Amino acid sequence: MIAAPAPGATWQHRHVLDVDVFSAADIDLVMRTADEMKEILARPIPKVPALRGTSVTIIFWEASTRTRVSFEVAAKNLSADVVNIAAGTSSVVKGESLVDTIRTVEALGADMIVMRHSVSGAPYLAAEVFGGPVLNGGDGWHGHPTQALLDLYTMRARLGDVAGRKVVILGDILHSRVARSNIWTLTAMGADLWLCGPTTLLRGFDAWATRWADGRAAPGHGRFTVTSDIDAALRDAEVVMALRLQRERMDAGLLPSLREYSARFGLTRERLAAARPDALVMHPGPMNEGVEIAADVAVLDRSVILDQVANGVAVRMALLYLLSGGHPEGMSGG
Ligand code: CP
């Protein structure tokens, strides 16, 4: 059985396009539903019939390992039928539009769509034309909602409540959809969030933080600090999440050189010493070891990078389940 959610907790979202529209109660419901999914995943046969008869179509226009595979595993664990479409082998290469592709997969029986696209906002367009739920597996620079939720889940599993805890996101903030979605979830849950990187890779975020401090752009009650002072950022941090330098999205001239970036902002053991002794090390992946994170830091005992990957399955099961509108009390395990 999947236990019923706490009284009063209801899910009212049709899609998962980003987490900016999720209240703290919504996020908490996802976390608790993911706890139920973790229990299922611990069973010898981690499968329940929650989505039996539901067809989940996974369309990725951009490369992915973790997100695509964990959505597929999650959907199969819920007994959904899964169809995978790689844009490179679909009629997209013949010029078919996003809208035509979405209408086509709907005509082929898709009940839910999971998608990744290089263009920010593409899942919102898909949600306008598709009759069922759309889950965003990452769109351009804009958002990666399921990554932010699994990051939060991983922090809570180790630290409990994140309220008041100092969480540092370090690196290429400018091009990061992961950072943007994490801002919403972490501040909604009351974390003391610090964004740190070279000034060229923080462009626009300082203005956001100023509006935030003025109370003009604060969706949550957490703190939100933007700085290039890595020593101040890491001091007494309880979580340090390094981000990949996203060179595929980067204009020339933003960084003097990779070597200088790594020397000034790479997460090394020496730098990490400024954080709490038990500070969690995180990275959404894929990692460029030796650039944004030293190889020996990525494998420290307190690194939870592989926990993030594993927790992605439970969190994505929770989201698929909540979007399916099923009633937990009516379900039986299998
Ligand atoms: N974190 C993340 O989105 O990884 P993938 O690109 O491998 O899905």
What is the distance in A from the centroid of ligand 1 to the CA of 151?
12
Type of residue found at 62: E
Map out the domains of the chain with their CATH numbers. 24-143+310-330 (3.40.50.1370), 145-308 (3.40.50.1370)
What is the distance in A from the centroid of ligand 1 to the CA of 284?
7
Residue 190: phi and psi, rounded to 5, are 85, 15
What is the distance in A from the centroid of ligand 1 to the CA of 4?
31
CA distance 52 to 62: 28
| CA-138 nearest atom, ligand 1 | 3
Q: Which portions of the chain are predicted below pLDDT 70?
A: 1-8, 215-220, 249-253, 326-334
pLDDT of residue 207: 83
| CA-285 nearest atom, ligand 1 | 1
pLDDT digits (tens, 9 = 90+) for 154-182: 999 999 999 999 999 999 999 999 999 99
CA distance 168 to 317: 27
pLDDT digits (tens, 9 = 90+) for 105-119: 999 999 999 999 999
Q: Which residues contact 75 (CB under 8 A, 6 or more apart)?
A: 51, 56, 58, 82, 114, 316, 320
| CA-308 nearest atom, ligand 1 | 1
Q: Give the pocket of ligand 1 (CB within 6 Å).
A: 64-67, 138, 147, 284-286
Number of H helices, E strands in the chain: 12, 9
Residue bearing tokens 């809570």: 156
Cα 18 to its chain centre, rounded Å, is 9
What is the distance in A from the centroid of ligand 1 to the CA of 210?
30
What is the distance in A from the centroid of ligand 1 to the CA of 100?
26
Q: Where are the beta strands (DSSP E) in 112-211?
A: 112-117, 134-139, 166-170, 192-196
